[in-house]
């Protein structure tokens, strides 16, 4: 049996009682942390709760699938602990498909996801969001600008855009300021006038954590402020409904912090 268990968006206390009961019964426990950042000490505290050693896998290990699937047997229940909610990342869908092809029974136990939590915390109406965008961490000879096109398409339909910030295989997280600078560079290339220093963004950092922050401000003010707490997510709103505008006014920042 293979279980995919969501840890949630902060730490082990986000897990459901069902998830903890299953975790305690599993023979072998793996974990990955490349899809999101968990608070420090989460896995070590989980080891104490389930009284088992948790093996942290790299992204390549999960994508390769061999180690996880070979551990599954009629006598051994195996689980993969996933930051956030399982199956949001295509890697986990691929793992389930590979297990099914080997006739390994699978079960997913869901938890909180940054996708729903961020939308809720922003006060923006969920049905007014368009296609989700990931802002990649630019590297030499790798500066894709396709996120700009998606943002433009969403805005043309008066839809908000949720901007995920890249977390690479080395655990390096794209910081909000770096993402905003990349968007300005895309604007210089595309010249459509949708990403300006005066463009307002919602910045949500450490959603669900005790140190959570919400800021609604211009791109220029965000670049000027101390706004690089991680993990973080950005939202580029379309035209605001009056209730959305009233909610965001509580977190408006006129200048740098």
Helix (H, G, I), strand (E, B) or coil at 229: coil
Q: Are residues 97 and 124 in the same domain?
A: no
CATH of the domain at 157: 3.30.950.10
Q: How far apart are CA 92 and CA 85, in angstroms?
A: 10
Q: Are residues 94 and 122 in the same domain?
A: no
Longest Cα pair distance anywhere in the chain, in angstroms?
60
The pTM of the whole model exceeds 0.85: yes
Q: What is the pLDDT of residue 256?
A: 40
Q: How far apart are CA 234 and CA 195, in angstroms?
A: 13
Beta strands 28-32 and 54-57: pairing type? parallel
Mean pLDDT by 10 residues, the chain (257 residues): 94 93 94 81 92 89 89 89 89 92 95 94 96 93 94 98 86 90 97 96 94 94 85 96 94 58
Domain boundary among 90, 109, 128: 109
Q: What is the pLDDT of residue 36?
A: 77
Q: Are residues 77 and 164 in the same domain?
A: no
Determine the straight-line distance between the first and last CA of the chain, rounded to whole angstroms: 50
Q: Are residues 153 and 120 in the same domain?
A: yes
Domain containing residue 119: 114-253
Q: Are residues 102 and 126 in the same domain?
A: no
Q: Are residues 141 and 188 in the same domain?
A: yes
Q: What is the pLDDT of residue 123?
A: 95
| Structural domain count, the chain | 2
CATH of the domain at 82: 3.40.1010.10
Q: What is the pLDDT of residue 169?
A: 66
């Amino acid at each position: 049996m293979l279980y995919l268990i969501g840890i949630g968006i902060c730490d082990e206390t986000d897990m459901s009682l069902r998830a903890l009961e299953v975790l305690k019964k599993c023979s072998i426990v793996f974990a990955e942390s490349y899809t999101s950042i968990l608070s420090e000490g989460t896995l070590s505290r989980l080891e104490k709760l389930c009284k088992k050693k948790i093996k942290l896998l790299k992204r390549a290990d999960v994508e390769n699938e061999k180690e996880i699937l070979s551990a599954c047997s009629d006598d051994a229940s195996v689980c993969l602990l996933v930051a956030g909610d399982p199956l949001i990342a295509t890697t986990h869908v691929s793992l389930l498909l590979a297990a099914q092809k080997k006739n390994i029974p699978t079960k997913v136990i869901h938890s909180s996801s940054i996708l729903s939590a961020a939308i809720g915390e922003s006060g923006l109406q969920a049905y007014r969001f368009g296609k989700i965008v990931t802002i990649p961490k630019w590297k030499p000879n790798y500066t894709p600008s396709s996120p700009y096109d998606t943002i433009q398409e969403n805005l043309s339909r008066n839809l908000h855009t949720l901007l995920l910030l890249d977390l690479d295989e080395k655990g390096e997280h794209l910081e909000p300021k770096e993402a905003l600078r990349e968007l300005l560079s895309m604007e210089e290339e595309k010249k459509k006038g949708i990403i300006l220093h005066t463009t307002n963004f919602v910045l949500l950092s450490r959603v669900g954590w005790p140190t959570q922050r919400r800021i609604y401000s211009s791109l220029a003010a965000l670049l000027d402020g101390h706004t690089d707490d991680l993990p973080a997510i950005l939202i580029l709103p379309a035209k605001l409904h009056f209730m959305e505008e009233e909610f965001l006014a509580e977190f408006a920042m006129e200048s740098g912090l």
